[in-house]
Chain A
């Protein structure tokens, strides 16, 4: 009895000493020579698709940790990021030192085309296996792909909990849902294409699913913002393939937005970081990458930016571990791998789009 008590006391004490100090307070494991070289460089140029407002807490914390390295943060959309980077690299005048983009396929393409620099980050060991590729491309977030609906206009019992239920709901009320369902346009949005292609590989009834979307005349957009806005206003009722982090950011401001993690499968996307070979501040880029992957950076990604941390050892609502606990094996992370390149092949891509358009009846 006393032994157990003592044991418990000891455990409690250790937790108090070690627990709060946990992973989060440990600085990123960047080798000292790289760190001092980075401080000499004094600057890191980040090209990112994460908007400045969401990234602000990360940048602030990085600044506190590395006061000698200023971050020049450029936010832009993923196409602009790609265009700027390849053009600037071709001109040889220097470009970003770290590219951080949600267009997973374009990031892998950059690495595959030889633009990326290899870096064995000590922090990468804490990533799941599927989340890095050849030490050249690193997943940094764990963002679920969700359904989003209008709570005022959709009754709780109607809310579909899986892709199959969504199809059933639409088939049951084609008139009511006509023009009321929304998703990314795979033709105009790279991320929309990628998500749909993942659906095709995961949903056993994909052909029937997209035909159903066609029957209710699904409305196609290029930006999450426009879709969330129109779901909230009641112009549309429900959207699928919505990036969870954006939806939750919006939900915090407007509780009328409902977010569903589909039970049959929830795709997970990850913002990929790449260090370009032609970086002007290569060491500072490495320090920033290590920081993004470190427990401290991930803690902020999870709890301040609501982008969902990818490391298993970070706790909180918006973390991979919380999602794993809640959803288990229905989580389907999109692997950071060469498989993303398949649909950058022109003929395969056009064939897939043709299938989509035929199902929708727009061609």
Chain B
């Protein structure tokens, strides 16, 4: 018993220091008038008054709120319907579709947005083709509406992820009852299944809303020409506004975004608390039979495919096309510009191979380590009635609030100014820690959805035969969630392959990773190489996914 408590407190302390060190630096920086490491820095609220009186900040804040609301309204209904279709019905090809619908999560938003420009921008190949066929192309990828729609569509997988695991855990008896009473599939979905998983849906709604606040890659590329400003691109603007990077101003914006996270975490906790009322799975559930969609099978499939075409096929075709041509756009005959030159140039690029190996290494081993850490936190928090558990919930969510640009700097500072850590800065460990902390909220959710499926009955059975809580954890809970853990590993692998902004400041010889290379090449204008590299990145993700599926890993709990 004491051992267990010690372990739990230890986990809280380690997690707290990993999260609070960078966060603390950012908070401290926000109330200074100069970089915190300069002796001349004094306490001051000048940064807050500068930012809060800047009309750009208000404009960016309003736009961001609009984007967050809009994308939530798009992603949540569509994502939950998608989950219902794939998990509970006899939709054709649902086994194949299940991993495929997650793809948008694993594409770097910068790559995705650039793909949209090449495919559906004003002179994109799809736009030109459409114009030729129909005389006009009535959309503008650079508008606010497009940003909202694209952000909404690409965040559907997050909703799917959470809703589907809840649906899976749902006993089939209630649906069965509704069906026997004569309800059709749609009626079952909207009156029985989806209301039953309301906490999961709302939980994902809160998450998507929050992700709207830290959106960076999409608005960076799509908002560029139109001057569309959201909080994270406003932050980017602040680094140059005054000529010299003004950390205090950047810190203030980060603090503002983190401040939004707090009420949202509170909301999420309330929702999770409420979910106890929705427990429907006992020791043995009725294995669910899929609902028959009958006449709706093919229209439903068509709907899913249209969404996939818009969020995966369209942008990826743009990126792939760009990688294999020397130029594109108005007045270009694609057949004449096809080339492999971009790839030849890419493989001549110094340190590329090391970058790819590092990426694979950090995704495979780093991913496994991260999942192990997340699992330790999850197990510590598992059935723990304590105030500490509440602290943990906030701790894991808050890092997500730090925009990548700030998180990257904050981790650089941690490794520079926390002496015991500084020898580790130029190793991959620094990149790993930054990634693991930034993705804590996402990873924890994967672990806890696995843990939620373990019925308390089984653990209580262990307790009644005289095992201690620690023994139950080791001998009952962990074996039960091992498939969930492997699935989480795979998801974290793919997230780590695509991650980019966090590692930028830790990048150096020996710690190159593909995501950060993409960002640094983008800035210098080597878009040929960026497109080729993006293709390599997508192939890495696809390989990881294919490999895991062959091994029979189930993607979620």
| Residue positions of A touching B, CB distance < 8 A | 49, 51-54, 56, 72-77, 79-80, 82-84, 86-88, 90-91, 93, 105-106, 109, 152-153, 179, 182, 187-190, 193, 219-226, 228-230, 232-235, 246, 249-250, 253-254, 256, 343-344, 346, 349-350, 353, 362-363
Complex CA gap A176/B476 in Å reads 71
Given contacts A52-B350, A53-B350, whether A83 and B409 have CB atoms under 8 Å apart is yes
- Picked from B38, B240, B345, B425, the residue with its CB within 8 Å of the CB of A190 is B240
- Name which residue of chain B comes closest to A363, CB basis: B55
Q: Are A187 and B241 in contact (CB under 8 A)?
A: yes
- Name which residue of chain B comes closest to A54, CB basis: B524
Across the interface, which residues of B come within 8 angstroms of A220, CB to CB?
Answer: 224-225, 227
- Picked from A51, A249, A346, A349, the residue with its CB within 8 Å of the CB of B520 is A51
Q: Are A225 and B422 in contact (CB under 8 A)?
A: no
Complex CA gap A91/B414 in Å reads 10
- Name which residue of chain A comes closest to B241, CB basis: A187
Given contacts A220-B225, A233-B123, A344-B243, whether A254 and B326 have CB atoms under 8 Å apart is yes
Q: Interface code B321-356, partner A: CB below 8 Å = 1, 0 otherwise?
A: 000001111111000000001000100111100000
Q: Are A193 and B243 in contact (CB under 8 A)?
A: yes
- Picked from A49, A53, A188, A250, the residue with its CB within 8 Å of the CB of B240 is A188
Given contacts A91-B422, A189-B240, A220-B225, whether A254 and B327 have CB atoms under 8 Å apart is yes
Q: How big is the B interface, by class?
A: 35 or more
- Among B332, B422, B527, find the residue whose CB has the most chain A CB atoms closer than 10 A: B527
- Picked from B227, B425, B505, B520, the residue with its CB within 8 Å of the CB of A362 is B227
B413 within 8 A of A: yes
Complex CA gap A209/B341 in Å reads 40
Across the interface, which residues of A come within 8 angstroms of B504, CB to CB?
Answer: 76, 80
Complex CA gap A73/B349 in Å reads 13
Q: Are A225 and B527 in contact (CB under 8 A)?
A: yes
Main secondary structure of the interface of A (DSSP, over half): helix
Chain A nearest CB, measured from B540 CB (Å): 21
- Among B118, B121, B349, B416, find the residue whose CB has the most chain A CB atoms closer than 10 A: B416
Complex CA gap A80/B118 in Å reads 28
- Name which residue of chain B comes closest to A74, CB basis: B508
Chain B nearest CB, measured from A349 CB (Å): 6
Across the interface, which residues of A come within 8 angstroms of B349, CB to CB?
Answer: 52-53
B236 within 8 A of A: yes
Complex CA gap A78/B219 in Å reads 22
B420 within 8 A of A: no
Across the interface, which residues of A come within 8 angstroms of B326, CB to CB?
Answer: 253-254
Chain B nearest CB, measured from A256 CB (Å): 6
- Name which residue of chain A comes closest to B329, CB basis: A233
Across the interface, which residues of A come within 8 angstroms of B345, CB to CB?
Answer: 53
Q: Are A74 and B348 in contact (CB under 8 A)?
A: no
Q: Are B417 and A91 in contact (CB under 8 A)?
A: yes
Given contacts A91-B422, A225-B522, A250-B525, whether A86 and B224 have CB atoms under 8 Å apart is no
Across the interface, which residues of A come within 8 angstroms of B413, CB to CB?
Answer: 87
Q: Are B237 and A56 in contact (CB under 8 A)?
A: no
- Name which residue of chain B comes closest to A53, CB basis: B349
Complex CA gap A49/B521 in Å reads 11
Q: Which 8 pairs from chain A and chain B are nearest by CB?
A: A233-B329, A225-B525, A234-B330, A90-B37, A91-B416, A344-B243, A234-B329, A224-B525
- Picked from A53, A153, A224, A232, the residue with its CB within 8 Å of the CB of B348 is A53
Across the interface, which residues of B come within 8 angstroms of A226, CB to CB?
Answer: 221, 224, 522, 525, 527
- Name which residue of chain A comes closest to B529, CB basis: A53
Given contacts A93-B416, A232-B327, A246-B525, whether A346 and B242 have CB atoms under 8 Å apart is yes
Chain B nearest CB, measured from A224 CB (Å): 4
Across the interface, which residues of A come within 8 angstroms of B509, CB to CB?
Answer: 72-74
Complex CA gap A344/B123 in Å reads 38
Given contacts A82-B245, A84-B412, A87-B413, whether A234 and B522 have CB atoms under 8 Å apart is no
Q: Please, could you name 27 A-B residue pairs with CB atoms under 8 Å apart, sorted by A?
A: A51-B526, A52-B349, A53-B349, A53-B526, A73-B509, A74-B509, A76-B507, A79-B240, A82-B244, A87-B35, A88-B416, A90-B35, A90-B416, A91-B417, A152-B331, A222-B224, A222-B523, A224-B525, A225-B525, A228-B527, A229-B525, A233-B121, A246-B525, A250-B525, A344-B242, A349-B241, A349-B243
B171 within 8 A of A: no
Chain B nearest CB, measured from A209 CB (Å): 20
Given contacts A51-B524, A221-B225, A232-B329, whether A193 and B123 have CB atoms under 8 Å apart is no
Across the interface, which residues of B come within 8 angstroms of A363, CB to CB?
Answer: 55
- Picked from A52, A84, A106, A222, the residue with its CB within 8 Å of the CB of B351 is A52
Across the interface, which residues of B come within 8 angstroms of A230, CB to CB?
Answer: 225
Q: Are B123 and A234 in contact (CB under 8 A)?
A: yes
- Name which residue of chain A comes closest to B352, CB basis: A52
Q: Are A224 and B524 in contact (CB under 8 A)?
A: yes
Q: Are A221 and B525 in contact (CB under 8 A)?
A: no
Across the interface, which residues of B come within 8 angstroms of A253, CB to CB?
Answer: 326, 341, 528
- Name which residue of chain A comes closest to B118, CB basis: A233
Given contacts A53-B349, A91-B417, A223-B525, whether A190 and B243 have CB atoms under 8 Å apart is yes
Complex CA gap A190/B227 in Å reads 17
Q: Interface code B143-178, partner A: CB below 8 Å = 1, 0 otherwise?
A: 000000000000000000000000000000000000
B427 within 8 A of A: no
Q: Are B35 and A86 in contact (CB under 8 A)?
A: yes
B122 within 8 A of A: yes
Complex CA gap A72/B351 in Å reads 12
Q: Interface code B30-46, partner A: CB below 8 Å = 1, 0 otherwise?
A: 00000101100000000
Q: Are A187 and B237 in contact (CB under 8 A)?
A: yes
Complex CA gap A14/B351 in Å reads 45
Across the interface, which residues of A come within 8 angstroms of B350, CB to CB?
Answer: 52-53, 56, 73
Chain B nearest CB, measured from A253 CB (Å): 6
Given contacts A86-B35, A223-B525, A225-B524, whether A106 and B244 have CB atoms under 8 Å apart is yes
B389 within 8 A of A: no
B15 within 8 A of A: no
Across the interface, which residues of A come within 8 angstroms of B244, CB to CB?
Answer: 82, 106, 109, 344
Given contacts A77-B520, A105-B243, A225-B527, whether A235 and B38 have CB atoms under 8 Å apart is no
- Picked from B221, B240, B331, B527, the residue with its CB within 8 Å of the CB of A234 is B331
Q: Are A83 and B505 in contact (CB under 8 A)?
A: yes
Chain B nearest CB, measured from A286 CB (Å): 21
Complex CA gap A74/B509 in Å reads 7
Chain A nearest CB, measured from B484 CB (Å): 38
Chain B nearest CB, measured from A150 CB (Å): 8
Q: Are A79 and B245 in contact (CB under 8 A)?
A: yes
Chain B nearest CB, measured from A129 CB (Å): 26
Across the interface, which residues of B come within 8 angstroms of A182, CB to CB?
Answer: 225
B471 within 8 A of A: no
B317 within 8 A of A: no
